[in-house]
Amino acid sequence: MNTPRNASPVVEAEAAASRVLEAERAARARVAQCGLQAVRRVDEANARAQALRERTEARIARMSARMTAQAEERLRQIRAEQERIAGETGADAATLTRLDAAIDNLVAEIAGADAPKG
């Protein structure tokens, strides 16, 4: 809003006030726009974090299942070898029970669980 060169101080003051009010309205609109943009970015970041968390948890579950299966297979092999050796050496049931407990403790320790005390 332009004012004439010889405008009265009142007219000049009103024109200045109008400019200030218009600038304030524009600033408020921009602040509101920035606020919406910030909310959108936070929502997007949260969605990315959730997707990453889900992928990570799935990978951990697959890895845990694979490691458990490998440990169980190794345990099966050890027990088979244990039975073979026991047959050759004539080991008694008490010895085999202690060996089973030691193997269970070792497998639990490798798998990251608290080893049962046996």
In this structure, which amino acid lies at residue 97?
T
- Per-residue pLDDT, 115: 44
CB 103 within 8 A of CB 118: no
Where exactly are the structural domains of the chain?
A: 9-111
- Per-residue pLDDT, 101: 87
At what angle are helices 9-89 and 93-111 packed, to 10 degrees? 160
pLDDT category of residue 100 using cuts at 50, 70 and 90: confident
Identify the residue with better confidence: 103 or 88.
Answer: 103
- Per-residue pLDDT, 64: 93
Task: Over range 6-13, report the average pLDDT.
Answer: 85
Per-chain mean pLDDT for the chain:
86
Task: Over range 69-78, report the average pLDDT.
Answer: 89
